[in-house]
Structure 1
């Protein structure tokens, strides 16, 4: 294991996690301000000035929030750039340990999977701590996923691949989107000839 690469990864992971906390706080504050403004708008007409104040505060936070999203993307790019060197410098078991993958979840991961696949494909970063979460909200996942999605949306081949996946998964012939009516038939509750 290369100590320099692992140290670089650990510092990057710490930065990504700290940034996630700040971005979550900013998102919660934005949502709270809009919610309060809507509540005040629905109430007394005398509260309109306070609602406007909440909306103005929301607008003041927006540039910082958007800058935070851009910073998340930049951190995701750094993580993706570091991944090949990290994979080369560590063994599969070391990667799982450094990503805090629970021993119970390791059987699901293909042996030899790299950093990006474990974080963005299997979504197993800090798997024990996130076991009961409905959606994957891991800091490394969010950063890597944002960079991957925007990069795919910005390139012609990425858009074509995305459209193909969406058609395969959600298209008219896709397994999950079959809209078939249930095969029902009417059954009489009275015996034939009883009437």
Structure 2
């Protein structure tokens, strides 16, 4: 990732009169660049762990070397990784809370165009009433669906940012304020009994 590229993207987004489309495009590109850097850190760490794994066949003679390599893998570019995750989580939080008013400012069709949502899923989303950036990019993971063509894996930039924001919220929020997913009527809880009422003729 080129620092000058990210600075240029921020400058474009912050220009007076920059459209909401421009802001979303630059945000996606910035998230994509940060995600690429995180991926490269992850791959470098995996390579180190693979090296340690190959030494397991020579245990117990290689135990200290394996431990040392695994420590190095854990510490490899740790500060940079945490900084990238923090920035991405901040962007994700802004998107989830829609601090810039992108939902209303762009409208459904323009958001779908900018998120590269394919035609079939776009119509399904319209019929299901999905009209927010968070619904399209995160909750239903439709971002870049035109390129993924039904693949399960999702590496879309805004999805990653929103996911990090959600993880950060769950980790930082006081436990007593978090909703109980096992409460009656909640996602994993028992279904609520329907309310019955008499309907007059």
CA distance in 2, matches of 1:40, 1:140: 39
Change (3 A) 1:165 1:120: farther
Does residue 139 (structure 1) correspond to residue 157 (structure 2)? The answer is yes
* Cα distance in 1, alignment partners of residues 38 and 166 from structure 2: 19
Inter-CA distance 12–86: structure 2 relative to 1 (3 Å threshold): same
Residue 162 to residue 140, structure 1, CA distance change in 2 (3 Å) = farther
Compare CA radii of gyration and give the structure with the larger one. Answer: 1
1:104 — aligned with what? Answer: 120
The answer to whether the 8 A contact 2:116-2:147 is kept is no
Quote the residue 1:188 is aligned against.
none
CA distance in 2, matches of 1:60, 1:7: 35
Show the counterpart of 2:95.
79
Distance 1:132 1:67, change over 3 A: same
- Could you list the runs of 5+ residues in structure 1 that have no partner in the other structure? 175-195
1:34 and 2:52 aligned: no
Does the CA contact (< 8 Å) of 2:138 and 2:163 recur in 1?
yes
Contact 1:19 1:72 (8 Å CA) reproduced: yes
TM-score, length of structure 1 as denominator length: 0.71
How do residues 106-121 of structure 1 correspond to structure 2 at under 5 angstroms? 106-109=122-125, 110-111=128-129, 113-121=131-139
Q: Give the Å deviation of 1:37.
A: 0.9
Choose 135-144 or 49-58, whichever is displaced more. 49-58
Q: 8 Å contact 2:144–2:156 — kept in the other structure?
A: yes
Deviates more, 1:124-133 or 1:82-91: 82-91
Q: How do residues 109-188 of structure 1 correspond to structure 2 at under 5 angstroms?
A: 109=125, 110-111=128-129, 113-156=131-174, 159-164=177-182, 168-170=186-188, 173=190
Distance 1:156 1:164 in 2: 18
Q: How many residues align?
A: 172
**Structure-1 separation of matches of 2:47 and 2:177:** 35
Q: Distance in 2 between matches of 1:169 and 1:135?
A: 23
Q: Residues 79-104 of structure 1: CA distance to partner in whole angstroms, max 9, x if unpaired?
A: 33555511121121111111111001
